[in-house]
Structure 1
Amino acid sequence: MNSSQPIDAGAALPEQTDVDAVEDHRLVALAQGGCPDAYRSLVERHQQRLYRFCYRYLRNEDEAIEASQDAFVRAHAALPRFRPKAKVSTWLYQIALNLCRDRARKAGRLSIAQSTEVAEATCRASTPDEAAMLGADLAKLDRGLAALSEKSRSVLVMSCLDGMSHGECAEVLKCSERAVEGRLYRARHELAAWWARDEG
């Protein structure tokens, strides 16, 4: 990734519009024709959103940076084969999700950021006892996510942590919105059951 703009994992980014999607396809067509500036512009348009997605899946800044950079490298290599059947953003998310899954599998668990760092970034004005409680809950959530099946973890991260709509999740996961709703229902119950067992 090549930008002077700072990347904020917690920043709220606007959803893509149809105009954005048209511009993405225009840039892809130019990049396929050999224009390096077009692909650079495409990276700049999507790097914050893709990094944020990877961070919320992997919970580790270095891993997220590497995964999002790798996604853009793979996308560039696959440019000649890209066909405008779906949004460019969906295509990039699919690549990033596969890379995040691979990294999580290799680690045998989710790569988790230190809970104290997450708690500090979430609420800097917390008192010591509040920060400790928040840190404990975040650490527990990370353990819970790591204990879920990959299908459950993916849909929870995308929908609940990354704020993607059911339609966006369906495109990335290559399934119907109804299937996304079913996965979310099962994932929430799976996480709730794990949470109760952990408390016991």
Structure 2
Amino acid sequence: MSLQLSDGSDAELAALALGGRQDAYRELLARHREPVFRLVRATTSDPHEALDITQETFVAAFASLARYDHERPFSVWVRQIALNKCRDWARRRRVRSFFTRAAPLEEAFDVAGDAVPADVQAAHRAELARVTGAMARLPARLREALVLRTVDGLSQAEAAEVLAVSEKTIETRLYRARTKLKAMLGD
């Protein structure tokens, strides 16, 4: 086949991957790993766990590639897998927390460059931690809609498709998420 992999659609790449083309798997991964990682990181609030969950997402996606419906966007399908992996991670985390009676502190922030004063960096990190913590306390259905729309930048229709709900449901969840965040943050 003379198809340039970078020119092929996701459905064509999936078919090639199922046919044994390793470079097709690599191209699918290259196309979708960043948006999936952003979604997972925003959902879990833990960059280290996000790396593992992103990897688990693609392992699961490639293992079940034969079940991928080529009529639907691959990006929606792989995001649904990622959200399921995040939900699994959250359940496992709650169980571990229950048994250990200790909630882990998540302090994974990149060190900013020297151009920004240390006190400003600290204020930004504190505000980011405050917002991230408030988002983590939102119910999962509200947090997922908020992350897909504001962090991942999906349209309302795309977010609705990923979550398998109506666009109106996304709109309602976004309104409720923003209202709850505003109340939690005192703004």
Bin for the TM-score computed over the shorter chain: 0.7 to 0.9
Counterpart position of 1:39: 25
User: In angstroms, what is the RMSD of aligned CA positions?
Assistant: 2.5
Tell me how many residue pairs correspond in the alignment.
175
- 2:170 aligns with 180
Residue of 98, 107, 122 corresponding to 1:114? 107
User: Alpha carbons of 1:183 and 1:149: their partners in 2 closer, same or farther (altered >3 Å)?
Assistant: same
Q: How many Å separate the matches in 2 of 1:77 and 1:144?
A: 35
Find the counterpart in structure 2 of residue 75 from structure 1. Answer: 61
Cα offset for 1:124? 5.6
Matches within 5 A, 1:34-113: 34-108=20-94, 113=106
Alignment identity in percent? 38
The amino acid of 2:126's aligned partner reads: A
Give the C-alpha shift of residue 173 in structure 1: 0.5
Q: Is the 8 A contact 2:44 2:136 kept in 1?
A: no
The runs of at least 4 consecutive aligned structure 1 residues that moved more than 4 Å come to 109-113
Query: Amino acid of the residue matched to residue 172 of structure 1?
Result: V
1-structure distance, mates of 2:104, 2:20: 37
Shift of 1:29: 1.3
**Structure ID, larger Rg:** 2
Distance in 1 of aligned mates of 2:31 and 2:69 = 19
Q: What letter is aligned with 2:43? A: Y
- For 2:146 and 2:157, locate their aligned partners in 1 and report how far apart those are by CA, in whole Å: 14
**Matching of residues 106-145 of structure 1 within 5 Å:** 106-108=92-94, 113-114=106-107, 117-118=109-110, 120-121=111-112, 125-145=115-135
The CA distance in 2 between the partners of 1:172 and 1:21, in whole Å, is 24
Structure 1 Cα separation of the partners of residues 39 and 55 of structure 2: 12
CA distance in 2, matches of 1:175, 1:111: 32
**Bigger relative contact order, structure 1 or 2 (CA pairs below 8 A, ≥6 apart):** 2
Structure 1 residues 175, 58: CA separation in 2 closer, same or farther (over 3 Å shift)?
A: same
Offset at residue 164 of structure 1 (A)? 1.7
